[in-house]
């Protein structure tokens, strides 16, 4: 059952990554490119977890890829908020 859920999560993350990359192509906003890349990293994490043996003691190292994806999302949000124009009165 876990393998099925990892596969569904990986396929969903690939789809969401494609959606964000399409938005990036339309707007050329770096925020969407970073989000697309982060979701592709999560998809890669799901694929790697499908490949890894469930009883492997070193499986927790694969989650570093997911950590990097979440850090990329945080960096995209911070970058978007810093580069936003100040509100006009």
71-86: per-residue pLDDT in tens?
Answer: 999 999 999 998 766 6
Check pLDDT > 70 for residue 88: no
Calculate ∠ Cα 29-74-78, nearest 5°: 60
Q: Where are the alpha helices (DSSP H) in the chain?
A: 2-27, 30-51, 63-83
Count CB-CB contacts under 10 A for residue 39. Answer: 23
Q: What is the phi/psi pair of residue 69, to 5°?
A: -65, -45
For 27-70, how does the pLDDT look when each residue is reduced to its tens digit (9 = 90+)?
Answer: 999 999 999 999 999 999 888 888 876 566 667 777 888 899 99
Cα–Cα distance measured from residue 68 to residue 78, given in angstroms and rounded to the nearest whole number: 15
pTM of the model: 0.81
Q: State the chain's mean pLDDT as an integer.
A: 85
Note the pLDDT of residue 63. Answer: 82
Cα–Cα distance measured from residue 68 to residue 70, given in angstroms and rounded to the nearest whole number: 5
């Amino acid at each position: 059952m876990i393998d099925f859920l990892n596969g569904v999560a990986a396929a969903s993350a690939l789809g969401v990554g494609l959606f964000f990359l399409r938005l990036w192509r339309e707007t050329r906003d770096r925020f969407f490119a970073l989000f697309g890349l982060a979701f592709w990293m999560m998809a890669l994490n799901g694929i790697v977890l499908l490949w890894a043996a469930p009883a492997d003691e070193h499986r927790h190292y694969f989650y570093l890829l997911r950590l990097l994806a979440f850090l990329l999302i945080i960096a995209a949000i911070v970058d978007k908020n810093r580069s936003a124009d100040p509100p006009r009165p």
